């Protein structure tokens, strides 16, 4: 995070960034007050001490240095509720190598069906659990320690526990993302299984990992951005099925990446939910990726997270019902979470709310369609009807 002027900046007469100054003054903030806001938001992500931030803000506002640091740009956009284009004009980051993957936040959802009684046990033993409501589904959420990022455990009374792990990504390219994803899926499932097994004193296995990527500061050239997001939506396309994670497989994945970025990438099961001039967004069976080009008009990060939490919670619950059937048993579920409950949830998931935005509606439909949850719900409802559950 260097604010040392580049040779190009040193040879220019400083031109104040009047937009940055105006945005700060509109809020009635001194530079010290604005620096405190940046420090509050960026401290956990490596932003320096308050005094250094205030000095950096002075250099950015006065034009002594052109702000090219992706983290500063992101935080300025957040506190001033503006886009990078509005605040800085045409920015070409100099801190990121061509093709490097940065400015991306990974959200991993790791569910496990543990049963209603065990969820109740977890909640009773949780410190600081908070009630959450999403699509009419109430759950309890707590923060948990994870060595790789910020993590929360969400617990639904119908028997599903789900970890939501958030990680900032800094990787050389998309090929590394594909391999990182494959390797960390195994790592994170094992960690989640161990956490639940230890907490419940019984063997528990997490079901799967699903990813959503929030691209807040894209590092690709404009002509590559759409294709890069498509690849992020299905990163497995870059490496061969069941290939070993060797230097050779990485080199092959990088060749595929360069080819796709040059020629484009399409996939029949990928659904777009972006809006021209506002956002780029894609959903697939593998996950979701979203770039808010106009942050004040686009979806909020929490909106995508909330849809995935509800979708994956119901997916894990329905999967537990199907697993009982496939083992030769009539499924047993708590009385209040039978087929009528599932029917109500399905209605809330598929039907638009009166004040829902078109952006949210399209995103929700894309996630539901590509996840297969609606078919899963329909099957579970019929099974429970047949067995008189609910």
Q: Can you tell me the mean pLDDT for 293-320?
A: 96
Q: What is the pLDDT of residue 8?
A: 44
Residue 280 in tokens: 């780029």
Where are the domains positioned within the chain? 7-88, 101-299, 305-386
pLDDT, mean over the chain: 89
Q: What is the pLDDT of residue 96?
A: 41
- Per DSSP, the residues of 38-74 read HHHHHGGGT---HHHHHHHHHHHHHTSS----HHHHH
Q: What is the pLDDT of residue 246?
A: 66
Which range in 176-180, 238-242, 311-315 is most confidently predicted, on average pLDDT?
A: 311-315
pTM over 0.85: no
Q: What is the pLDDT of residue 99?
A: 58
Question: At 291, is the pLDDT very low, low, confident or very high (cuts 50, 70, 90)?
Answer: very high
Nearest residue to 135 via CA among 299, 346, 301:
346
Q: Can you tell me the mean pLDDT for 1-12?
A: 47
- Phi, psi values for residue 135, rounded to 5°: 55, 35
Is pLDDT at 292 greater than 60 in this prediction?
yes
Nearest residue to 312 via CA among 110, 12, 114:
110
Is pLDDT at 214 greater than 90 in this prediction?
yes
76-124 confidence digits (pLDDT tens) = 888 988 877 778 775 444 344 445 788 999 999 999 999 999 999 999 9
Least-confidence region, from 52-61, 164-173, 309-318: 52-61
Report H helices in 163-263: 174-200, 222-233, 247-263
Residue 112 in tokens: 């496990």
Cα end-to-end distance, the chain, whole Å:
58
Is pLDDT at 7 greater than 50 in this prediction?
no
Percent of the chain whose pLDDT exceeds 70? 92
Question: At 385, is the pLDDT very low, low, confident or very high (cuts 50, 70, 90)?
Answer: very high
Is pLDDT at 336 greater than 50 in this prediction?
yes
Is pLDDT at 179 greater than 70 in this prediction?
yes
Is pLDDT at 312 greater than 80 in this prediction?
yes
């Amino acid at each position: 995070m260097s604010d040392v002027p580049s040779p190009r900046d040193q040879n220019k007469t400083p031109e104040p960034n009047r937009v940055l100054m105006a945005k700060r003054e509109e809020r009635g903030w001194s530079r010290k007050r604005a620096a405190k806001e940046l420090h509050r938001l960026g401290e956990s992500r490596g932003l320096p001490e308050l005094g250094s931030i205030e000095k950096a803000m002075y250099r950015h506002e006065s034009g002594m240095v052109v702000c090219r640091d992706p983290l500063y740009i992101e935080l300025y956009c957040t506190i001033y509720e503006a886009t990078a284009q509005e605040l800085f004009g045409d920015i070409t980051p100099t801190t990121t190598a061509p093709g490097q993957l940065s400015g991306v936040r990974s959200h991993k959802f790791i569910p496990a069906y543990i049963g209603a009684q065990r969820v109740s046990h977890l909640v009773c033993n949780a410190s600081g659990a908070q009630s959450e409501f999403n699509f009419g589904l109430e759950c309890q959420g707590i923060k948990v320690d994870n060595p790789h990022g910020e993590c929360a455990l969400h617990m639904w009374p119908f028997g599903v526990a789900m970890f939501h792990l958030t990680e900032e990504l800094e990787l050389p390219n998309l090929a590394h993302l594909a391999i990182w994803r494959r390797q960390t899926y195994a790592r994170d499932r094992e960690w989640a299984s161990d956490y639940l097994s230890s907490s419940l004193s019984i063997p528990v296995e997490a079901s799967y990992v699903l990813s959503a990527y929030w691209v807040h500061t894209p590092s690709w050239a404009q002509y590559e951005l759409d294709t890069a997001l498509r690849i992020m939506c299905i990163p497995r396309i870059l490496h061969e099925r069941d290939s070993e994670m060797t230097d050779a497989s990485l080199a092959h994945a990088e060749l595929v990446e360069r080819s796709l970025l040059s020629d484009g990438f399409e996939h029949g099961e990928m659904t777009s939910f972006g809006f021209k001039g506002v956002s780029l967004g894609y959903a697939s069976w593998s996950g979701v990726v979203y770039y808010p080009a106009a942050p004040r008009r686009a979806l909020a990060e929490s909106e995508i997270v909330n849809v995935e939490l509800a979708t994956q919670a119901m997916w894990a619950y329905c999967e537990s019902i199907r697993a009982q059937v496939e083992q030769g048993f009539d499924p047993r579920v708590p009385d209040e979470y039978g087929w009528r409950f599932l029917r109500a949830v399905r209605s809330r998931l598929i039907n638009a709310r009166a004040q829902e935005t078109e952006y949210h509606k399209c995103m929700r439909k894309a996630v539901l369609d590509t996840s297969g949850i609606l078919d899963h719900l329909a099957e579970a409802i019929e099974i429970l009807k047949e067995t008189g559950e609910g």
